[in-house]
Amino acid sequence: MRTFAIKSGVLLLAAGLGLGAAGSAFSAESLQDVLKRRGLSQQDLLAAAKTYVPTGKRDEFLAFSSGGQSGQVIVYGIPSMRILKYIGVFTPEPWQGYGFDENSKAVLKQGWIDGKEITWGDTHHPAISETNGQYDGQFLFINDKANPRLAVIDLRDFETKQIVVNPIYKSEHGGAFVTPNTDYVIEAAQYAAPLENKKFFPLEEFNEKYRGGVTYWKFDRKEGRIDPKKSFSVELPPYSQDLSDAGKGPSDGWSFTNSFCTERYVGGIEKGRPPYEAGCSAKDTDYLHVINWKKAAELVAAGKAKKINGHDVLPIDVAVKEGILFLIPEPKSPHGADVTPDGKFIVVSGKLDTHVSVYSFEKIQAAIKAGKFESKDPYGIPVIGMKDALHTQVQLGLGPLHTQFDAKTCVAYTSLYVDSQVAKWNFCEGKVLDKISVHYNIGHLVTMEGDSVAPKGRYLVALNKLSIDRFNPVGPLHPQNHQLIDIANDKMQLLYDMPLPLGEPHYVVAIEASKLKPGVRYKVGTDSRTDKPHPGAVRAGEERTEKKGNKITVYGTLIRSHITPETIEAEVGDEVTIHLTNLERAQDETHGFTVSTYNTHASVEPGKTVTVKFKADKEGVYPYYCTEFCSALHLEMQGYLLVKPK
Which positions touch ligand CUK (CB under 6 A)? 124-125, 173, 243, 335, 401-402, 443-444, 506-507
Shortest Cβ 258–ligand CUK spacing (Å): 10
Spatial CB neighbours of 376, under 8 Å, sequence gap ≥ 6 = 382, 383
Which among 596, 602, 584 has a CA at the least distance from the CA of 639?
596
Listed ranges 38-46, 268-276, 340-348, 622-630: which one lies at the site for ligand CUA (CB under 6 A): 622-630
Shortest Cβ 289–ligand CUK spacing (Å): 16
495 binds, among ligand CUK, ligand CUA, none (CB under 5 to 8 A by kind): none
174 binds, among ligand CUA, ligand CUK, none (CB under 5 to 8 A by kind): none
534 binds, among ligand CUK, ligand CUA, none (CB under 5 to 8 A by kind): none
User: How many Å apart are CA 336 and CA 413, to the nearest integer?
Assistant: 12
Shortest Cβ 634–ligand CUA spacing (Å): 4
Q: Please count the other Cβ atoms lying within 10 Å of the Cβ belonging to residue 357.
A: 26
Phi-psi region of 421 (alpha: psi -120 to 50; beta: other; left: phi over 0): beta
Shortest Cβ 629–ligand CUA spacing (Å): 6
124 binds, among ligand CUK, ligand CUA, none (CB under 5 to 8 A by kind): ligand CUK
User: How many Å apart are CA 91 and CA 111, to the nearest integer?
Assistant: 10
Give the residue with the Cβ less far from ligand CUA, 401 or 626: 626
Give the residue with the Cβ less far from ligand CUK, 120 or 614: 120
Shortest Cβ 592–ligand CUK spacing (Å): 34
Q: Is 608 in the site for ligand CUA (CB under 6 A)?
A: no
Bond before 479 cis per omega within 30 degrees: no
Give the residue with the Cβ less far from ligand CUK, 122 or 130: 122
Give the residue with the Cβ less far from ligand CUA, 456 or 591: 591
628 binds, among ligand CUK, ligand CUA, none (CB under 5 to 8 A by kind): ligand CUA
Residue 478 carries which DSSP code? Answer: P
579 binds, among ligand CUA, ligand CUK, none (CB under 5 to 8 A by kind): none
User: How many Å apart are CA 373 and CA 401, to the nearest integer?
Assistant: 28
Give the residue with the Cβ less far from ligand CUK, 152 or 401: 401
End-to-end CA distance of the chain: 67
Q: Is 626 in the site for ligand CUA (CB under 6 A)?
A: yes
Give the residue with the Cβ less far from ligand CUA, 17 or 635: 635
Give the residue with the Cβ less far from ligand CUA, 5 or 633: 633
Give the residue with the Cβ less far from ligand CUA, 63 or 568: 568
201 binds, among ligand CUK, ligand CUA, none (CB under 5 to 8 A by kind): none
Q: Is 445 in the site for ligand CUA (CB under 6 A)?
A: no
243 binds, among ligand CUK, ligand CUA, none (CB under 5 to 8 A by kind): ligand CUK
| Strands in 297-371 per DSSP E | 306-308, 311-314, 325-331, 334-339, 345-350, 355-360
Shortest Cβ 582–ligand CUA spacing (Å): 9
- Are 89 and 123 spatial neighbours (Cβ–Cβ below 8 Å)? yes
Q: Which residue is nearest to ligand CUK (CB)?
A: 443
- Are 580 and 553 spatial neighbours (Cβ–Cβ below 8 Å)? no
User: How many Å apart are CA 346 and CA 364, to the nearest integer?
Assistant: 10
Q: Which residue is nearest to ligand CUA (CB)?
A: 626
User: How many Å apart are CA 124 and CA 144, to the nearest integer?
Assistant: 7
Shortest Cβ 628–ligand CUA spacing (Å): 5
- Are 131 and 216 spatial neighbours (Cβ–Cβ below 8 Å)? no
Give the residue with the Cβ less far from ligand CUA, 36 or 585: 585
Residues written for the chain? 646
Give the residue with the Cβ less far from ligand CUA, 216 or 625: 625
Give the residue with the Cβ less far from ligand CUK, 190 or 582: 190
Shortest Cβ 600–ligand CUA spacing (Å): 16
Shortest Cβ 639–ligand CUA spacing (Å): 12
Phi-psi region of 616 (alpha: psi -120 to 50; beta: other; left: phi over 0): beta
> Which amino acid does the sequence have at 237?
P
Q: Which residue of 74, 185, 412, 630 would you call a contact of ligand CUA, by CB under 6 A? A: 630
Q: Is 638 in the site for ligand CUA (CB under 6 A)?
A: no
Shortest Cβ 146–ligand CUK spacing (Å): 11
Give the residue with the Cβ less far from ligand CUA, 188 or 626: 626
Q: Is 637 in the site for ligand CUA (CB under 6 A)?
A: yes
444 binds, among ligand CUK, ligand CUA, none (CB under 5 to 8 A by kind): ligand CUK
User: How many Å apart are CA 415 and CA 419, to the nearest integer?
Assistant: 9
Number of residues that bind ligand CUA (CB under 6 A): 7
330 binds, among ligand CUK, ligand CUA, none (CB under 5 to 8 A by kind): none
User: How many Å apart are CA 50 and CA 92, to the nearest integer?
Assistant: 36
Which positions from 576 through 605 interact with ligand CUA, judged by CB under 6 A? 591
Which among 643, 646, 645, 636 has a CA at the least distance from the CA of 566?
636
Strands 232-236 and 311-314: parallel
Give the residue with the Cβ less far from ligand CUK, 349 or 609: 349
User: How many Å apart are CA 598 and CA 607, to the nearest integer?
Assistant: 25
Longest CA–CA span in the chain (Å) reads 89
DSSP string, 548-584: ETTEEEEEEEEETTEEESSEEEEETTEEEEEEEEE--
DSSP string, 374-414: SEE-TTS-EE--HHHHEEEEEE--SSEEEEEE-SSTTEEEE
- Give me the helix-helix angle, 31-38 and 42-51, nearest 10°: 110
Shortest Cβ 625–ligand CUA spacing (Å): 8
Q: Is 289 in the site for ligand CUA (CB under 6 A)?
A: no
Spatial CB neighbours of 277, under 8 Å, sequence gap ≥ 6 = none
Contact residues for ligand CUA, defined by CB under 6 A: 591, 626, 628-630, 634, 637
